[in-house]
Amino acid sequence: MGQREMWRLMSRFNAFKRTNTILHHLRMSKHTDAAEEVLLEKKGCAGVITLNRPKFLNALTLNMIRQIYPQLKKWEQDPETFLIIIKGAGGKAFCAGGDIRVISEAEKAKQKIAPVFFREEYMLNNAVGSCQKPYVALIHGITMGGGVGLSVHGQFRVATEKCLFAMPETAIGLFPDVGGGYFLPRLQGKLGYFLALTGFRLKGRDVYRAGIATHFVDSEKLAMLEEDLLALKSPSKENIASVLENYHTESKIDRDKSFILEEHMDKINSCFSANTVEEIIENLQQDGSSFALEQLKVINKMSPTSLKITLRQLMEGSSKTLQEVLTMEYRLSQACMRGHDFHEGVRAVLIDKDQSPKWKPADLKEVTEEDLNNHFKSLGSSDLKF
């Protein structure tokens, strides 16, 4: 057998192995005992959702989405359920995001789970945003990407000093989805645009100061807060808000520290007010401060396509409803799956971990208006509909 045939056989075998691994993972995801990935419990007056993959920082799987969505809808209709609490197991993370490595690997092996995953994830984000019962997200630990989508659209978001928030998608060739196009442009000034393009991380009380959390509680009091919420008898929204407010008022950690970005907000507002990524870069260069140059360095590492998609996503999202934004983001997600940068970003950050993605195109100038328009184009009958 010649060398060429040997290589062909080996590459076929590797592709076969990869497909089998992914199928095995998906089968496991379908048949895993519910108690392993997500706990859904009725406790006292509340429905309690516990994301239960602590070894994987509670990363969100399709299996979890498919359990949470129908239960959320049931509790919403149940006259004996007065509020819904969502939290993460293990203490390190609320939810570090969607399990995107599996999605990328499945796409490469021609297993089309991405359309299903993003559709059902965004449906769940909308269900959180439109939930008729008070919804309390305890965002303790890492809260990024898909974890933000499970919390930020709810009525109450309680951060602790251990909360670490970020929307880091431009670093993996994606965009801040899960309704990022809705909540980010509605933050103070141009803060949301800054967070979206740079993936800047906010910690602890700053998550509250930025307007992402509605309350801040010291982590040692979190279990007690949950007990007090569960012990309420047929509570109204006001009763729940009052308990949260009391704990918030009593919290001591970093109470006197100013917002980490306070001194930079004027720069953020002026530099990130531009209509194009090129202008934002020019503004940061002209500003020349160490803060501006640091952000410039960060932005220059991101996927040029992702940067342009993200800026337009936020500009358009600023005047859309959450449902309209999620429909737009579903179109964007499917375009990203067809492209190069998402798979390259996942490889560089999550698989090989060399942190050196090779973006295509590698330059902002090469990302044309036509490329952008194609990302935002309607999918016709495949569009996400509510």
Of 372, 313, 290, 270, the closest CA to residue 169 belongs to: 313
Per-residue three-class SS string for 42-83: EECCEEEEEECCHHHCCCECHHHHHHHHHHHHHHHHCCCCCE
342's tokens: 């998402």
Choosing from 141, 146, 180, 199, the catalytic residue is 146
Does the annotation mark 211 as catalytic?
no
Does the annotation mark 179 as catalytic?
no
Does the annotation mark 146 as catalytic?
yes
Distances in Å between the alpha carbon of 375 and those of 333, 334, 369? Answer: 8, 8, 10
Choosing from 37, 177, 206, 329, the catalytic residue is 177
Choosing from 105, 121, 161, 169, the catalytic residue is 169
Rg of the chain on CA atoms, in Å: 22
Of 153, 163, 149, the closest CA to residue 130 belongs to: 153
| Tokens 């007090």 -> residue | 228
Distance CA 156, CA 245 (A): 11
Distance CA 337, CA 358 (A): 16
Sort 225 into a burial class: Cβ within 10 Å, 0-12 / 13-18 / 19+. buried
Does the annotation mark 352 as catalytic?
no
Distance CA 337, CA 56 (A): 23
Q: In what order do the strands lie in the sheet with 38-43?
A: 38-43, 46-51, 83-88, 135-139, 156-159, 215-216
Choosing from 47, 88, 97, 98, the catalytic residue is 98
| Tokens 């994606």 -> residue | 174
Annotated catalytic residues are 98, 146, 169, 177
